[in-house]
Structure 1
Amino acid sequence: MHILLTGANGFLGRQCTRRLREAGHIVSTTDRAGDVTLRGDLADPGFAQTLPEADAVVHAAAVQYVTPSLPLLGRRAWFRRNNVEATRHLVERYRGSGAHFVNIGTSMMYAQDGSPQYGPQSRMQGQGVYSESKLEAQALVEQGMARWATVVPCIIGGPGREGLFRGFVRAIAQGRPVLVPGAGTQPTAMVHVEDVARLVEVVLRQGALGFYNAAAPRPLSIVDWVHEIEQELQAPPTRIVHLPLTPLRGLAALSGWRLLAREQVLMLTWPHVLDIERSLALGWQPRHDNALIARHTARHLQGVRAQPATGAGVGH
């Protein structure tokens, strides 16, 4: 099968490239930078029209709150350009082609309302500029592609992902208290980047349609993440300092949700667990549980910290 993969230079895109090629597919890759087949910007309609014919399209290109180029101002327009307009141009290129279009969504598309878990039948609602852009892009896919599937991952972890983990690893390694926003006791699911790539391959192989959640079994709380990192680093018990969520939420709102995005505040308030039964029914089985993901991520970050400086480089 000939597959076009967008966002191929990203955290998930690199894993998808490897997994799809290992499965025997011919993969044409595209991104704005990196070692890809076709380098260009999907927000440019002219570039999108130059993309090759393909049996399937995996659309992993997107920006999010952890993207290094996230601007301080003009975020709505930035998300719209990179997530909505890029998807519009991609759909226009492959509309009517018969290609199987696999979109990569986000669990932030679900209306976070305190539900114990979210499944494909749960209500979706944008609750911030990022989730709004992803839902608008999703609507374009559904309207424009006859054969579409959307893989919906929760927090993607594994070597190369940082986020809260970088601060946790640094504090634990240095024997300092760990700052946790809110109680940090609600279950918050993660999924290993390799398992997301494997689900994408299963969806393609089976020609599956509709929504498929990607999450690891046995979700942990943020406090549990800290304890797993302690054990991985063989560090003594760490003192956890909880930052009250109410004033933090107020500061985030006053900052125009730049200090913390609204979706992120909701994830710190409610459980964030995904129902993966529909994905399991395809024969997909995640190989990493949440504890292993926390440990793999911490091990990678500790290894990066231990490496000697080699001059200027590009971080992500």
Structure 2
Amino acid sequence: MKVLMTGATGFVGRETARALSEAGHQVSPVVRAGDGFRVASIDGYTDWSGAFEGVQAVIHLAARVHRMDDRSADPLAAFRAVNTIGTERLARAAAAAGVLRFVFVSSVKAVGEASPPDGVIDETTVPQPADPYGISKLEAEQALLQVAVDTGMQVVIVRPPLVYGPGVGANFRALVHAVARGWPLPLACVRNRRSLVAVGNLADALRCCVEHPAAAGRTYFVTDGEDAGTAELCQRIGRALGRPARLLPVPVVLLRLAGTLTGRSAAVNRLTGSLVLDSSRIRRELGWQPPQTMDEALAAMVVAECAS
């Protein structure tokens, strides 16, 4: 089928476009410049006229994401303009054009930042987003469900956790480089668990959500199916690099104190806290299985980073 995709040139979008193409689908990218349907931005004013010719499905990846240097006077309004209002406008335009299915890539942040002690987050967990980005994503989910009621267009919501793989940026890439350079990391005392998803696994799940009839109207968490604590993740990265990770036994309470003193509490909480997701629903209902194990995906990422 022909699939319109926003965010097609991004980290997840490139891999998803490849997965769709390999499955025989035609990808119609939404771009700011270059080949595809051009838009200056995605918000409540975007003109989608002519975007959906021959399109049967939409994958909406583009979003305003969290930035450390965000200087918006009203961050929630800025996130809503793109992530909530822009998403709803795109969905209503797609439905009016006769698009059959709309796959929305939301985020675990629409539900929360941490799993309960000795528990997991699944699709029945009551959402409690903790920041403007998460709030805007949850509101977008709610708006899309109303679009589905109003128009009959099939909506699928996918909530990934942290995505990693070749080309990953930000903190995950910095962690890989730290292990590769043998830098000592004060993480040996961290005893947490976090769910992750390799970019290739997420791309394959999005392809499945486009294709499978049973995905209509459903919400799914997508993970690798294996959870790793921060210390274990460093060790796995080290094995992929062929060198041991150097982990120092610094008490977690001191790490959190350092985070408070340096204004980086959120980053330290992500390193030390747990976020465990149950992604069994998509496996059970769609028969989906991740194509890569975590170790295979980490090895592919390390090869790409070393080659760059």
The question of a shared fold, defined as TM-score above 0.5 by the shorter chain, is answered with: yes
Return the offset for 1:203. 1.5
Report matched runs for 1:282-301 at 5 Å: 282-301=286-305
Return the offset for 1:94. 2.0
Count matched residues. Answer: 293
Report matched runs for 1:6-85 at 5 Å: 6-33=6-33, 35-40=34-39, 41-43=41-43, 45-53=45-53, 54-65=55-66, 71-74=70-73, 75-85=75-85
Q: Following the alignment from structure 2 to structure 1, what is the Cα–Cα distance between the partners of residues 25 and 175?
A: 39
| CA distance 1:237–1:196, change in 2 (3 Å) | closer
Partner of 1:90: 90
- Tell me whether 1:280 sits opposite 2:290 in the alignment: no
1:218-253: CA deviations, max 9, x gaps?
Answer: 21111111111222222245133647343355357x
Quote the RMSD (CA, aligned, Å): 2.6
Partner of 1:160: 167
TM-score scaled by length of structure 2? 0.84
State whether residues 230 and 272 of structure 2, in contact with CA within 8 Å, keep that contact through their aligned partners in structure 1. Answer: no
Q: Following the alignment from structure 1 to structure 2, what is the Cα–Cα distance between the partners of residues 46 and 71?
A: 23
Return the offset for 1:133. 1.2
State whether residues 46 and 86 of structure 2, in contact with CA within 8 Å, keep that contact through their aligned partners in structure 1. Answer: no
Which residues of structure 2 form unaligned runs of 5+? none
- Tell me whether 1:246 sits opposite 2:253 in the alignment: no
Q: Following the alignment from structure 2 to structure 1, what is the Cα–Cα distance between the partners of residues 226 and 64?
A: 28
Return the letter of the residue paired with 1:278. R
TM-score scaled by length of structure 1? 0.82
Partner of 2:176: 169
Partner of 1:139: 142
State whether residues 228 and 295 of structure 1, in contact with CA within 8 Å, keep that contact through their aligned partners in structure 2. Answer: no
Which residues of structure 1 form unaligned runs of 5+? 305-316
Q: Following the alignment from structure 1 to structure 2, what is the Cα–Cα distance between the partners of residues 175 and 202?
A: 39
Return the offset for 1:107. 1.3
State whether residues 191 and 215 of structure 1, in contact with CA within 8 Å, keep that contact through their aligned partners in structure 2. Answer: yes
Aligned with 1:3: secondary structure?
Answer: strand
Q: Following the alignment from structure 1 to structure 2, what is the Cα–Cα distance between the partners of residues 83 and 119?
A: 22
Aligned with 2:122: secondary structure?
Answer: coil
Return the offset for 1:16. 1.4
Aligned with 1:58: secondary structure?
Answer: strand
Partner of 2:3: 3
| CA distance 1:110–1:302, change in 2 (3 Å) | same
Report matched runs for 1:188-203 at 5 Å: 188-203=194-209
Partner of 1:225: 233
| CA distance 1:187–1:222, change in 2 (3 Å) | same
1:129-159: CA deviations, max 9, x gaps?
Answer: 1111111111111111231111111111110
Question: Out of 212, 220, 226, which is 2:220 matched to?
Answer: 212
Q: Following the alignment from structure 2 to structure 1, what is the Cα–Cα distance between the partners of residues 201 and 244?
A: 31
Return the offset for 1:81. 2.5
| CA distance 1:122–1:267, change in 2 (3 Å) | farther
Q: Pick which of 100-109 and 235-244 moved more.
A: 235-244
